[in-house]
Amino acid sequence: MQLTCPCCHVRFPLEAALQDEAGRELLALLAGLDSAIARPLASYLGFFRATKTQLGWDRALRLAREVLELSIDQRQLQVALDETVTAMTEKRAQGAWKPLGGHNYLRRVLESTTARLEASPMASAENERSTARAPRSKAGQALVALQGMRRG
């Protein structure tokens, strides 16, 4: 089975990713997330890759874990990741882009996103409902991830 990296568009066999322990952990981590967060997170990780080198599994796993620790609120993190990926994609297209070295830009976007979402009472009520529905067990999270993948 061939996979295509959403960041660099390199095709590689699934077995190659699963041979590396960090690769297995990263794939499991992404599969356990809601697709609304997993997709922009995978794209975000690609912005740490230098033009002529590949992003190692160990570094990608560490970066993904750091991102997930930035916010407890999954909705705020998803919006911030979406905005960051959009902005970085535009910068890359303009040629004014360098690989990211840390999460400072994402932190600033997350702070502004948090302020915007907290200012909206409708969004706060929606966040509370979605947080209450999130399964806590690994099996429940895996089922939710599979349903998200099925939806597309």
- Where exactly are the structural domains of the chain? 2-151
- Distance CA(66)–CA(62), nearest Å, equals 6
Q: Which two tokens stand for residue 126?
A: 């929606």
Per-residue confidence (pLDDT) for residue 132, from 0 to 100: 47
pTM listed for this prediction = 0.70
Residue corresponding to tokens 């529905």? 133
pLDDT reading at 46 higher than 70: yes
Please, what's the b/e burial string for 6-24 (b: 16 or more CB within 10 A of its CB; e: otherwise)? ebeeeeeeeeebeeeeebe
pLDDT reading at 124 higher than 60: no
State the amino acid at position 76 in one-letter form.
Q
Per-residue confidence (pLDDT) for residue 105, from 0 to 100: 93
